[in-house]
Chain A
Amino acid sequence: MLLFNQLETYLYVALVLFFIGLYGVLARRNLIAILISVELILNAASLNFMAFNRFLAPHPAVGQVIALFIMAVAAAEAAIALSIIIAVYRKLKSVNVEQATELRG
């Protein structure tokens, strides 16, 4: 049984990707790094869809369509997030998330 021909392999890879992304989102203080980590999480999800589609779903196209959708959404999200980051930078002269404290309760 080849390693790359098994569902579990892809799921583990996706899991690792997801946790790396999650760690990045939670631990990094740089907004751009956080954005990159979010992309990792999305990629983990796409990988899962593709894997399930490849091994379990009868119709081959469904998972690919969803993966394409996720890519499009990720692109839009990156554009919006980057513009927000630029706005934050203009205001704070920094992209460190710890500097954005104006709404502290």
Chain B
Amino acid sequence: MDPILLGCLLCVILPLVAFGLIMIFTWRRPNLSLAISLVASTIPLIIAWTMLFKLWGIKEPLIFTFNWLVSDLVKVPFGFLIDPVSLIMLVIVATISWLIQIYSIGYMGGDPGFGRYYADLSLFAMSMLGLVISSGLLQLYVFWELVGLSSYLLIGFWYEKFSASEAGKKAFVVTRFGDVGFFMGLVFLTIFFGSLDIAGLNAAAASDKMPPWLITTSALLIFCGIAGKSAQFPIHVWLPDAMEGPTPVSALLHSATMVAAGVYLLTRIFPFMAASATAMLIILAIATLTMILSSTIGMVATDIKQVWAYSTVSQLAFMAMGLSAAGLAHGTLFAGYFHLTTHAAFKALLFLCAGAFIHHFGTNNFFVMSKEGGRKLTIPMVTVTIAALALCGIFPMAGFFSKELILGTLAHLDNKIWVLLGLFGAFLTSYYTFRVIFVMLFPRADDHPAWEQYWEEPEPHGHGHGDDAHGHGHGDAHAHDDAHGHGHGGHGDSHGVPWVMSFPLLVLAGFTLVLGFLQTPLETFLLGKSEPHEMSFVLLASAVGVALAGIGMAWLDWGRKTASWQGFIKQIPALETFFIQKWYIDHFWRWFLDTFIYGVFSKWFTYNDRRVVDGGVDAVAFSCIGGGRWLSFIQTAFLQFNLLFMVVVLAAVGIYLLMGR
């Protein structure tokens, strides 16, 4: 067998086997489950890196397919497509997945669901790796849904907590809502194009073999799925709630890899999507709106995971902007994809640092962390600052390079409004990021009035988060009174963070520092050639300028000694309320559900069920009873009358048959 094919198969099958083994046999034994899961994630890691090095510089994609579903009209292959795009994503997923599994040893240690946690992580690894190397869209869709399933399982991991199980359900239903559109797009393509093969689709769209209306419609339908998975407006509402899951899960699924699957799909079929300028323009508009919206909400959140969650939404939107702008300006997929790569590193790092703080202090509120002495945790504090600088796009962090590229792509558009909005988004990003960093770095004196304001969180989502890391209501005492207790510093480690947790932080910080300088080799690998980027000085200066301006603004509001700790947004109370209420989008969906789904569809379907379906069955039964009553006069209790009637009828039938001849 071809070693590459064997590698692909192992990547998909090993984690699946681990999932099955743990779920069926070893879920009661934490250490054995951990060992199985680690083996099943280390081998794909080695395979992924080996393949990247072996296949560095391939020109033609490697495709392995088997027939999966064959009829005379459609043929659905099942297989693997290995090209630079999927190779890089494969490495990202395998690496971060492995690092998270290491990190979780510390974070989840002592949890009664430890085995189940690793089983779910293995299921996720299997589905995500399978998604990345899928050769056809239907196969990709299957793994896409499996990824959604593992996301649901992991968000609701602490299912004893009501808000967590609700958040899991919300994530599942909302993303499924988008996936309906995705599936309709696939059906549409199958009917009118006849194939869902990724390579074939891209080639056909690029060489004008498909009618434009078909491309536009199916691209927009597929974008529904992308918007659901990558949390774009207006169905981004599930991602912030998904932070109810354990923090390593948020780092793996809800920032670095799974939510990036949407953008990955956009990259995967980029030539196809880019063939429709209308679709690209709509995607660009939605992504821009999402970025501004989520950045503004991030400015007022006091839960550190919520800030990073909204930051994830805005960065995903930023990637989508880069890709759609490239589609409009006949550019390449590199800018958006490069940002996906760097974002995976620094956003996973941000979440893992947040997880280290949450694990130590037992709260999600970063004001509380600051008061409790968060800056004394040296490794998380240094690495979170590195990641924050990357998020803002400050040289020499990875984010600097990828954000510059996207802004450069946006600047290529004729309409300059997009690049201005992009710069505005970058400004907001720097502001809310460094709001967190400055609050953590420079706690105030104990009698500062701001503490009162932020200590007890008035926000509806705030109160449920305090017990995220430990007290999830299962009442198992052993989970708490061992070395994993919180807030009392009993870790026996000079940094207060166990090495299994600080090691992934350092690795990711290394990636964050290095990845930016790999821009040219990566571009050569992805596109076959590296084009010189004529980066205009004005754009470069303004990009760095707005990032520094955001940091400066944050310094004025939160950092300096005399800062008010209020935030400039406090000056406009109406706007602040608007942001705290998350632009009332959750309210809108609540209203929409109550009015249209429950008020119209559900009501009428219930009515239909009660009246038409049940009523129909009842009507048949009751008419039988009534008809029997009514016809019972025929039974006169005069037996021979019935017999006579029978004889007469038989005689009549006999005569008719004889005469009828």
| Contacting pair B635 A98 (CB below 8 A) | no
| Contacting pair A25 B637 (CB below 8 A) | no
CB distance from B101 to the nearest CB of A (A): 79
Cβ–Cβ < 8 Å partners of A103 in chain B: 635, 637
**How distant is the Cα of A97 from the Cα of B642 in the complex, in angstroms?**
13
Is B634 close to A, CB under 8 A? yes
CB distance from A56 to the nearest CB of B (A): 20
| Contacting pair A98 B636 (CB below 8 A) | no
**Chain B residue, CB-CB nearest to A97:** B639
Provide the main secondary structure of the chain B interface: helix
| CB-CB contacts below 8 Å: B513-527 with A | none
**Chain A residue, CB-CB nearest to B640:** A26
Count chain A CB atoms within 10 A of each CB in B634, B638, B640 and give the residue with the most: B640
| Contacting pair B636 A104 (CB below 8 A) | yes
Cβ–Cβ < 8 Å partners of B636 in chain A: 104-105
Is B643 close to A, CB under 8 A? yes
| Candidates B632, B643, B647; contact of A105 at CB < 8 Å | B632
Q: How large, as a class, is the contact surface on chain A?
A: 10 to 19
A1-43, CB under 8 A of B: which get 1 and which 0? Answer: 0000000000000000000001001110100000000000000
B590-606, CB under 8 A of A: which get 1 and which 0? Answer: 00000000000000000
B211-232, CB under 8 A of A: which get 1 and which 0? Answer: 0000000000000000000000
Is B657 close to A, CB under 8 A? no
| CB-CB contacts below 8 Å: A81-105 with B | 97-98, 100-105
CB distance from A73 to the nearest CB of B (A): 19
| Candidates B631, B632, B634, B644; contact of A26 at CB < 8 Å | B644
Is B633 close to A, CB under 8 A? yes
| Contacting pair B639 A100 (CB below 8 A) | yes
Q: How large, as a class, is the contact surface on chain B?
A: 10 to 19
| Candidates A26, A101, A102, A104; contact of B643 at CB < 8 Å | A26
**How distant is the Cα of A98 from the Cα of B647 in the complex, in angstroms?**
19
**How distant is the Cα of A69 from the Cα of B238 in the complex, in angstroms?**
81
| Contacting pair A25 B643 (CB below 8 A) | yes
| CB-CB contacts below 8 Å: B611-639 with A | 631-639
Cβ–Cβ < 8 Å partners of A100 in chain B: 637, 639
Cβ–Cβ < 8 Å partners of A29 in chain B: 640
**Chain B residue, CB-CB nearest to A102:** B637
**How distant is the Cα of A101 from the Cα of B644 in the complex, in angstroms?**
17
**How distant is the Cα of A10 from the Cα of B232 in the complex, in angstroms?**
97
Cβ–Cβ < 8 Å partners of A27 in chain B: 640
Cβ–Cβ < 8 Å partners of B639 in chain A: 97, 100
Cβ–Cβ < 8 Å partners of A25 in chain B: 640, 643
**How distant is the Cα of A97 from the Cα of B647 in the complex, in angstroms?**
18
CB distance from B635 to the nearest CB of A (A): 4
**How distant is the Cα of A104 from the Cα of B635 in the complex, in angstroms?**
6
**How distant is the Cα of A103 from the Cα of B636 in the complex, in angstroms?**
8
| Contacting pair A101 B637 (CB below 8 A) | yes
B418-458, CB under 8 A of A: which get 1 and which 0? Answer: 00000000000000000000000000000000000000000
Cβ–Cβ < 8 Å partners of B643 in chain A: 25-26
Cβ–Cβ < 8 Å partners of B644 in chain A: 26
**How distant is the Cα of A97 from the Cα of B641 in the complex, in angstroms?**
11
| Contacting pair A105 B634 (CB below 8 A) | yes
Given A22-B647, A26-B647, A97 and B632 contact (CB-CB distance below 8 Å): no
**How distant is the Cα of A63 from the Cα of B379 in the complex, in angstroms?**
108
CB distance from A58 to the nearest CB of B (A): 27
| Contacting pair B640 A104 (CB below 8 A) | no
**Chain A residue, CB-CB nearest to B641:** A26
**How distant is the Cα of A30 from the Cα of B105 in the complex, in angstroms?**
96
**How distant is the Cα of A81 from the Cα of B634 in the complex, in angstroms?**
25
| Contacting pair A104 B637 (CB below 8 A) | yes
**How distant is the Cα of A103 from the Cα of B639 in the complex, in angstroms?**
10
Cβ–Cβ < 8 Å partners of B647 in chain A: 22, 26
**How distant is the Cα of A25 from the Cα of B641 in the complex, in angstroms?**
11
| Candidates A97, A101, A102, A105; contact of B640 at CB < 8 Å | A97
**Chain B residue, CB-CB nearest to A99:** B637
| Contacting pair B633 A105 (CB below 8 A) | yes
**How distant is the Cα of A27 from the Cα of B644 in the complex, in angstroms?**
9
**How distant is the Cα of A104 from the Cα of B638 in the complex, in angstroms?**
8
**Chain A residue, CB-CB nearest to B636:** A104
Cβ–Cβ < 8 Å partners of B635 in chain A: 103-105
Count chain B CB atoms within 10 A of each CB in A27, A101, A102, A105 and give the residue with the most: A105
List 7 tightest A-B contacts by C-beta distance, closest first.
A105-B632, A104-B637, A101-B637, A105-B635, A26-B644, A105-B633, A26-B640
Residues of chain A touching chain B, judged by Cβ–Cβ distance below 8 Å, are: 22, 25-27, 29, 97-98, 100-105
Q: What are 19 A-B residue pairs whose CB atoms fall within 8 Å in the complex?
A: A22-B647, A25-B643, A26-B643, A26-B644, A26-B647, A29-B640, A97-B639, A98-B638, A100-B637, A101-B638, A102-B637, A103-B635, A103-B637, A104-B635, A104-B637, A105-B631, A105-B632, A105-B634, A105-B636
